[in-house]
Amino acid sequence: MNHQQFETWVKAIGAAWVNRDPQAAADLFTPDATYQENPFEPPLQGRPAILKYWGEVSTQENIEFRYEILEVTESIGFAHWSVELTRIPSSKRVKLDGIFAASFRPNETRCHEFREWWTRQEGPSSRRVALITGASRGLGVTLATCLAGQNFDLILTARGAESLEQTAQQLRQYGTTIIALAGDIAEPAHQRRLIEAAESLGRLDVLVNNASELGPSPMPTLAEMPLASFRHIYEVNVVTPLALTQSALPLLKANHGLVVNLSSDAAAGGYAGWGGYGSSKAALDLLSRTWANELEEAGVGVVSVDPGDMRTTMHQQAFPGEDISDRPEPSVTLPFWMWLFGQKVTDISGQRFRAQAEQWEVVR
């Protein structure tokens, strides 16, 4: 499966939707295909079940389909899609926005495994606001792309001004407001600037504490860890998310917002050399659960997310001189983020998720 073949397949499924043709859609799948749109329910099994599911298009009209190819490998393709349609007979205009992953066997042009995650908006749009730290590269860019695609206005921050502005320029194609503020997230004055930016937009719905400090590279054992480095790791990975969440609370409470704290499998692994970073993420996990309990009555949700191993600059710093090309790109987590940001915050608050898990479930 190459990029052109996958795009042809995506166009074909979009055309089947626009033309309200369930059979054309079903023909794009192998007879034994699985089709899953809800990670908590079993997938549909086989082409007849897919055909029956697609029969719902008969209740839709005036369908507009758009797509963006995100990533294509030899066996799987990821795409972001959005659809606007009118419900029959209510005449309600509906917007759907989602991500799907389609898997193909060698030399096959029909999909044999399909997974998608989507959100729905009915009626007038209400522009939401998200603040993302560590937003100039890697997972931060993936998160920002996901939220911009869902019509969020964004406040982005990172230390590198040039790369942050490049990211902001790329995201402005979505037509949302993008405020890019470069600076040191551990500095209280910079934290105040970020909250003031959110106040200028009138609200804050999502706070993503993504910025992290790995520590020295190569990573030392605890016996050799410089205490100054250890303190700095905790300042960035624990104290800063605490301080930023404290400052953001009035806005988050007003909108029943969500705080997402980025964790790591190192928080529970006890891996040699990962003591500084891993223990800081373990502390952040505990803060997240405590925040969730303390903010339950206020209707503010707090979750931890372990994104898994990814091909990022920080991961390369953890393995200096090693080839990490076998790790997936951060975009592999897009389906999870699409799902997470479509949930009711009170349903997920206090949970810890693994973004690359087959099924998203609580990990204690």
- Residues 316, 190: one domain? yes
Q: Are 156 and 178 in contact (CB under 8 A)?
A: yes
Domain of 299 in residue numbering reads as 128-354
- Examine the domain organization and report whether 143 and 231 are in the same domain: yes
Sign of CA dihedral 230, 236, 237, 241: positive
- Identity of the residue numbered 314: M
What is the phi/psi pair of residue 231, to 5°?
-60, -40
Residues 89, 11: one domain?
yes
103 and 146 in one domain? no
149 and 43 in a common domain: no
| 160 residue type, one letter | G
| Annotation marks residue 53 as catalytic | no
Asked if residue 148 and residue 101 are part of one domain, the reply reads no
Domain CATH for 108: 3.10.450.50
Domain count of the chain? 2
Find the helix or strand (DSSP H, E) in which 352 lies: strand 352-354
**CATH value at residue 160:** 3.40.50.720
* CB burial of residue 257 (10 Å; 0-12, 13-18, 19+): buried
Q: Which of 53, 174, 271, 277 is catalytic?
A: 277
Cβ contacts of 270 within 8 Å, gap of 6 or more: 278
Q: What percent of the chain has pLDDT over 70?
A: 96
CA distance 201 to 176: 12
Per-residue pLDDT of the chain (364 residues; tens, 9 = 90+): 899 999 999 999 999 999 999 999 999 999 999 999 876 678 999 999 999 999 999 999 999 999 999 889 999 999 999 999 998 887 888 888 889 999 999 999 999 999 998 877 765 556 799 999 999 999 999 999 999 988 899 999 999 999 999 999 999 988 889 999 999 999 999 999 999 999 999 999 999 999 999 999 999 999 999 999 999 999 999 999 999 999 999 999 999 999 999 999 999 989 999 999 999 999 999 999 999 999 999 999 999 999 988 888 888 888 888 898 888 888 889 889 988 998 899 999 999 999 988 767 644 4
> Considering Cα of 259, then 264, then 269, then 273, what sign does the dihedral take?
negative
SS3 per residue for 135-162: CCCHHHHHHHHHHHHCCEEEEEECCCHH
Nearest to 206 by CA among 98, 307, 127: 127
Model's pTM, two decimal places? 0.74
What local confidence, expressed as pLDDT, does residue 108 receive?
Answer: 94
Q: Is 41 exposed, middle or buried (0-12, 13-18, 19+ CB in 10 A)?
A: exposed
| Whether the Cβ atoms of residue 129 and residue 150 lie closer than 8 Å to each other | no
Report the alpha-carbon distance of residue 109 to residue 103 in Å, rounded: 10
Give the three-state DSSP class for 217: coil
Residues 115 and 157 in one domain: no
Which one of 74, 99, 122 terminates a domain?
122
- In this structure, the answer to whether residues 292 and 149 fall within a common structural domain is yes
Backbone angles phi, psi at 209, to 5 degrees: -90, 85
Q: How far is CA 127 from CA 121, 176, 205, 250, in A?
A: 11, 9, 10, 18
In tens, the pLDDT along 97-138 reads 889 999 999 999 999 999 998 877 765 556 799 999 999 999
Confirm whether 238 is domain-assigned: yes
pLDDT for position 259:
98
Given 82, 101, 122, the domain boundary residue is 122
Q: What per-residue confidence (pLDDT) applies to 127? A: 79
Answer yes or no: do 265 and 323 share one domain. Answer: yes
Nearest alpha-carbon partner for 70 in 81, 61, 60, 59: 81
Q: Domain end: 71, 102, 122, which one?
A: 122
Task: Write down the pLDDT at residue 40.
Answer: 64
Q: Identify the pLDDT of residue 364.
A: 45
- Do 64 and 143 sit in the same domain of this protein? no
Looking at residue 363, its pLDDT comes to: 47
- On whether residue 335 sits in a domain, the answer given is yes
What's the pLDDT score for residue 60? 93
